[in-house]
Structures are given as structure tokens and as C-alpha cells.
Amino acid sequence: MRIERKFQELSEKGRAALVTYITAGDPSLELTPDIVFRLEKSGADIIELGVPFSDPMADGPAIQLASERALNSGTTLHGVLDAVRKIRKHSEIPLLLFGYYNPFFAYGLKKLATDASEAGVDGILSVDLPPEEAEEFKIHTDDKGLNLVFLLAPNSTVERINLVAEYASGFVYLVSVTGVTGERPNLDYSLEPIIDEIRKHIRLPVGVGFGVSTPSQASKIAKLADAVIVGSALVRIIEKNGDNKVSLLSKIGEFVSGLSKACDKEGINHRGRKVN
């Protein structure tokens, strides 16, 4: 599987994965593959393709507006999968569908797993699907070899961590703060205790997201976790430059290159601990 191979490859290089989020269809579905190609060229290791939804309750203003723009341009889940097919003609970068359960359920869970796998998707993260209710979806994703990624929070209990351990594959997404997505000038870097606790119960890489927007923040997260996840800051670049393809791709490349350089662990092993 591409996600597992990517984490293994980066672990051997002493790097955290850079996971970047974009909303598919923003500014257009036609441009989405080109954005992915530029992300990969600039150092992104895994791409989260956001499936636009009319009620993105876990997202802050930037991604809410991106979903609105994508929906207004006619983006559908079928269209997102078509974009994945176009990406797969030129790239093997790991791709994760990131969205809400309602569109997935309306599409049909079995059909989604089948179509996503055939298109070249590697995993799915449904923000509002708790592990207690994920068994049916997991049957279908497992059958098609898709990873099912779940969220954990800084205040997640051991019981919740153990429950996610039963269902998660690929990696675990730890949100850095309680609340919605969005850039934050200051992050709480006291995440080591919860990351250590997660690693006691889940033998998967741990990625940290929600609020990461600068190379400095990425560097600090890279020393603790196995992946740095960046979304809203990138979505804002797309918002500001979406009407000019050349400028958009240039700005994306510059931003992501800086983040990628910050993901070297510099004396930190792949479990996030200092090497003596």
C-alpha cells in the first residue's frame, strides 16, 4: 500500500511525512490534478483530497469557503474520483479522501470503496464517523485494500485510543487542538504525552494537524510525530490566487517547499525521540 510504503521510506530517511490538504474542485476540478502534481514536486508526501460538503462542521472559515467554492463550481464525489484517475496517469503519490460521512453514505459505502480503489485512492478519512459506527464501512474498505484513518484529540481517553486501534489503518490523525481547522499563530507543543500514549496502544504512524501553517511550526511537530499535516494555510493560498494558474502553482510550490525542508527530524528517530 502506498501510504505504508511512504511512511517506511521516510522513516528510513529520518523525515516526518508532509501531508497536505486541498479541497478538490477548488478553484476547479480541472485544476486539481495540476495542484496535486505541484504539491508532489514541491515535497508533499501524502495528499488529502477534501470532498466538498455543504456543512463542514469540523472546519474553520478557510475550508468552509473552499467547500462552498467547489460545490458552486459543480464538484461532486464522482468528479473527485475522476480527478484521482487523471492524477494516477502521472503520479503514484498516496491519496486520501478526506470528507464527511453523509456524501460517502449517499454514494453507497460498498460502491465508494470499489470506485475509490479502482480510481487509485489509498485511504479514506470521514471526519464525523466515530469508530463505534465504522464497522460496516471498514468491511468494505478492508475488502478493497483501502486505509481507514481516524481522528484523535489531545483529550482522547485510553478507551477511545483503544477503540481507534481496532479500526484504524495507514496512520492516525491527531488534531493539535480541540476545535475547528484553521491557522494559529501559536500552537501548544505539549503533545508528547498524548503521542506517547497513542503509541502505547496503536502501532501506526501518528500525524499532527489543525493549525500548522509555518515551517517553524512544522519543524517542531516533525520532532514529535511521524507526519505534519497542513491544510488551511494552503487552502488560503488557493483562495487568493485561484484566478491565476501560473501564480497559484508558483505560490503553492514556494510554500510547500519550505514546509518540506522543515520535516527533517535532525537527530530525532522515527518514533519521535532524541537519538543519543
- List 26, 40, 45, 59, catalytic entry: 59
User: Would you call 136 a catalytic residue per the annotation?
Assistant: no
User: Would you call 196 a catalytic residue per the annotation?
Assistant: no
Cell of 80: 473527485
Give the whole-angstrom CA distance, residue 237 versus residue 14.
29
Span between the terminal Cα atoms of the chain, in Å: 32
**Amino acid identity for residue 81 in this structure:** L
Give the whole-angstrom CA distance, residue 19 versus residue 17.
6
Q: Which residues pair with 264 in a beta bridge?
A: 15
Give the whole-angstrom CA distance, residue 81 versus residue 77.
6
- List 26, 40, 45, 48, catalytic entry: 48
Strands (E), 70-215: 95-99, 123-126, 147-152, 172-175, 206-209
Distance of CA 195 to the CA centre of its chain: 18
H-run or E-run covering 138: helix 135-143
Cell of 50: 477534501
Active-site residues, by number, are 48, 59
